[in-house]
Structure 1
Amino acid sequence: MKKIFIFAVSVLFTQAAMAQKLDRSQKPKPGPAPAITFADPVIYKLSNGITVLVVENHKLPKVSASYSIDAGPITEGSKAGVIGLLGGMLNEGTVTKTKAQFDEAVDQMGAEVALTSGGGQVSALTRYFSNAFLLMADALRNPAFPEGSFDKLKSQSLTNLKSTERSTTAISGRVVNAISFGLKHPFGEFETAQSIQTITLEDIKVAYKKYVTPSRGYLTFVGDIKPEAAKALALKAFGDWRGSVLTFPVLDKVSNPAKTEVDVVDVPNAVQSELTVTNLIELPMSSPDYHAVLLANQILGGGADAKLFRNLREKHGFTYGAYSRTGSGRGQSTFSATASVRNEKVDSAVVEFLKEITIMRNERVSPEILQNAKNLYNGSFALGLENPARSAGFASNILINKLPKDFYRTYLQKLNAVTAADILRVSKKYFNHDNSRVVIVGQANQFLPGLKKTGFIIKEYDSYATPIVSK
């Protein structure tokens, strides 16, 4: 009993001493960036063009696989919506199994199987995985395309479009890209009731033959499976598959406006407006600016601790949240800053958005703000490595984007080497102010009078991105 008492007293003294040394008025200093360690997948190349990636992980008796087709941007034109309907039709049964029979076979194994126009995915316990995988492959290679299912999915698409025709969120989702890229660009086009109605079952079959193919295909296995077994299964399911040869589309470059303009879509019943400040950028993952842009965006609008959120929500109360994002990839993408704003505060919100972007372009961020952004990426990147599928994703990204083999192993090293000067430089390069688009979808009579006083060029569009010519 005496020993227990002495131990308890010593613990209390130790805790008291630690409390005296701990200064809670000072934030603890960040630790070093976590070391990046992950296993490379085993990679095979099938003769028909499919790249197979295998990540072994035997902690659980489960395997997942996904097949993705790197077709790139697809221009649908007057048949906009055909690719979406194709994805739905691939889940409607095969030439040997009706949809009900196929779904029952999947359910009996407790598996998950889903198909899209860009590939498919499957997950099952190890003992059932081979059979589940062959079901996924069968659905991908031998779809039945029943007429009744086509009519059902087409009707559902039309109903969905009808239900969102007055939604500011849905309208903004299509017009922002349509105005930025143009209606004939694959990133700017969108489905309409008219385009859906013109699609036939034959259009679905033509799109299938053209885009669902082993060409530019990536097949990834993750989980309780040996590489040799995965390769054998891939050959059994896809080894004799042949199809059209895909080439990655080369698109014409689109320009930003010569001068910042405000593009307005009037939705008379809108309670609030969808506000987007956007400009086109080119940011391949191989760019030396890539990591600096990630951090710059995080500082500007990456979350609740970022500049836009603190300004538009915390300081002014214009919105529940304001955020920004930057795209990246092999072609043009966008930088955009967005918020849902009360109609009567839109003009003020536009001013504050552009103000924060201007500050990023003209002033160096503080060491503390920069370090906080780095800490967030350090933690989230390391946490993501707990998912074994991440290393397979890393490997396919390296292949698709032609990145250095050590891109992800040196990821945090490059991120933590970014300086405040780098943040300022890339903000000037990628976050436009003088040649941006400000797209507003909402009740125009609530904010147009105020916007006209700002001196911006103002253009009006309908809810399908067609310019409205003033009489």
Structure 2
Amino acid sequence: MTDTVTTQPVPPHRTAEEIGRTPLGPRPLPPLGEQRPAGELSSVDTVLPNGLRVIAVRRAAVPIVEVRLRIPFGSPSAADAPGHAARAEVLANTLLTGTARRDRVQLDTDLALVGGDLGTVVDPERLSIGGSALASGLDTLLDVLADVLTGAVHSDEETARERDRLVERITLARSQPSVIAREALQRRRYGDHPFSVEVPEAALVAQVTAEQVRDLHRGSVLPRGSVLVLVGDVDPERVVAQVGGALSGWAGQDAARELSPLPPVVGGDLLLVDRPGAVQSQIRLSSQAIARTDPRYPALQLANMVFGGFFSSRLVENIREDKGYTYSARSYLEFTPSGATLLVDADTASEVTAAAVLETRYELGRLGLVPPAGEELETARRYAVGSLLTATSSQAGLASFLANLAVAGLGVDWLRGYPTRLAEVTAEQVAQAALEFFAPSAFTGVVVGDAGRLAPQFHALGGVTLP
């Protein structure tokens, strides 16, 4: 006797458009829910005797504590910036490879026993150390952190190993179109300022010695001027006392080195950077913006949302949805030591690069001449508030956000009040921000691509310096 298998008919395939429609027309979208403000955050914001600013925040969602340390790590001069960047990268990669008390394995083991981890990253502005642990293991996490800050040995063997790995990674990274475009944009915006050296030369990294790294650690890994943020299932007052005890041995008379002020971004022609044989181009535009502390900042953020800050923005609708010039286009605010800049990014096929630049310029001008109002502005406002609440809803997200605010001298109070400030922005204020910050003449930047194919297009378009 055999089993009888009954097969079910396969339903016909429906497209996304068909799924979204009914016989009476498109399915109506559900109404947006009311935006809820962030809950009250119990916090302490203080400066320890060694000059370290500590921000401790209670968020008891899960029994974990997130830690973010930001140490100013600027280059002493523009002339030394390339060498400093190379030494700083090696330092960041060897910071957790052993101390006088713990070797690399013991560091990892002690953290693992409390469900913890630590990681490091460095940029032209700061050395950052971040991680987390079970709240019950905070003492261990702080002890490991203190050990690393005061006792990292940067041994010859570990330095050589990490240096060789860095050389390989940097060599690969510098061949990527996005890195080439970023470096070209930084040089276009800031010239030889140390801020423009984000990825060191592999040849300079290869020359870094362990003794140079140890000297850099002694002279630059300093508490005064640094910021430590802790967020989690903790009592803020008690946490500050724990940090004060654990890091009491981290000291220094000098302050950590802040990056020198940046020159303002000045509008002008784009620069065409030749990448022979490239089938795609990277478009990178930038202009000067303002700091979060400026009263005009909320209006600027909403204007940016409308222009290119989310998927339903004007720029995306134009060069992605309507014309298909790019898969992704965006505009965003990048915060710098002197405030902020506006950036516009898009990657396009070579044959439509000039057309994409033209349409981007058109949308920049249209934002000021036809400013957002009504539903367009309210959608952007809801998205901005919702994105902020989403980004800070987790302990990790809140810790990172507060660490970035702290670098600008801000804290929990700024975060508490910002949704209200966004809600109070008027259409007239957004229109003024659009005129002031999105004028096409305010932007400069670069286009990276095959100059042989792009030069004739840009010669006709104008506003682009050819190689």
TM-score in terms of structure 2 length: 0.84
Superimposed CA distance per residue, residues 258-291 of structure 1 (whole angstroms, 9 cap, x where no aligned partner): xx31311211232211111222x14111111100
1:220 touches 1:392 (CA, 8 Å); kept in 2? Answer: yes
2:256 to 228, 246, 249: 246
2:193 touches 2:262 (CA, 8 Å); kept in 1? Answer: no
In structure 2, the partner of 1:78 is: 82
Q: CA deviation at 1:398?
A: 6.2
Task: Flag the 1:166–1:24 CA change in 2: closer, same or farther, 3 A.
Answer: closer
Task: Flag the 1:221–1:436 CA change in 2: closer, same or farther, 3 A.
Answer: closer
Aligned residues: 436
> 2:135 matched to 1:126?
yes
Alignment of 1:207-218 (within 5 A): 207-218=216-227
| Matched residue SS, 1:149 | helix
Higher mean displacement: 146-155 or 352-361: 146-155
Aligned partners of 1:395 and 1:323: how far apart in 2?
A: 24
In structure 2, the partner of 1:92 is: 97
Mind listing any 5+ residue stretches in structure 1 that lack a counterpart?
1-22, 461-471
In structure 1, the partner of 2:278 is: 270
| Matched residue SS, 2:154 | coil
Task: Flag the 1:94–1:319 CA change in 2: closer, same or farther, 3 A.
Answer: same
Q: CA deviation at 1:30?
A: 5.1
2:458 touches 2:464 (CA, 8 Å); kept in 1? Answer: no
How high is the sequence identity, in percent, across the aligned residues?
23
In structure 2, the partner of 1:203 is: 212
Alignment of 1:253-332 (within 5 A): 253-257=263-267, 260-279=268-287, 281-332=288-339
Superimposed CA distance per residue, residues 362-414 of structure 1 (whole angstroms, 9 cap, x where no aligned partner): 11223111010011122223334532466666766666534597433331222
Q: Which amino acid aligns with 1:261?
A: D
> 2:112 matched to 1:107?
yes
Higher mean displacement: 398-407 or 147-156: 398-407
Q: Which amino acid aligns with 2:81?
A: G
1:159 to 151, 154, 168: 168
2:239 to 217, 227, 230: 230
Superimposed CA distance per residue, residues 134-155 of structure 1 (whole angstroms, 9 cap, x where no aligned partner): 1122112110111122112222
Q: Which has the larger Rg?
A: 1
1:379 to 380, 386, 394: 386
1:345 touches 1:447 (CA, 8 Å); kept in 2? Answer: no
2:227 touches 2:406 (CA, 8 Å); kept in 1? Answer: no
Task: Flag the 1:403–1:221 CA change in 2: closer, same or farther, 3 A.
Answer: closer
| Matched residue SS, 1:241 | coil
2:59 touches 2:395 (CA, 8 Å); kept in 1? Answer: yes
Task: Flag the 1:277–1:127 CA change in 2: closer, same or farther, 3 A.
Answer: closer
Higher mean displacement: 386-395 or 209-218: 386-395
| Matched residue SS, 1:317 | coil
In structure 1, the partner of 2:45 is: 43
Q: CA deviation at 1:189?
A: 6.0
| Matched residue SS, 1:145 | coil
Task: Flag the 1:55–1:78 CA change in 2: closer, same or farther, 3 A.
Answer: closer
Higher mean displacement: 287-296 or 101-110: 101-110
Aligned partners of 1:390 and 1:42: how far apart in 2?
A: 18
Task: Flag the 1:390–1:340 CA change in 2: closer, same or farther, 3 A.
Answer: closer
Q: CA deviation at 1:82?
A: 1.9
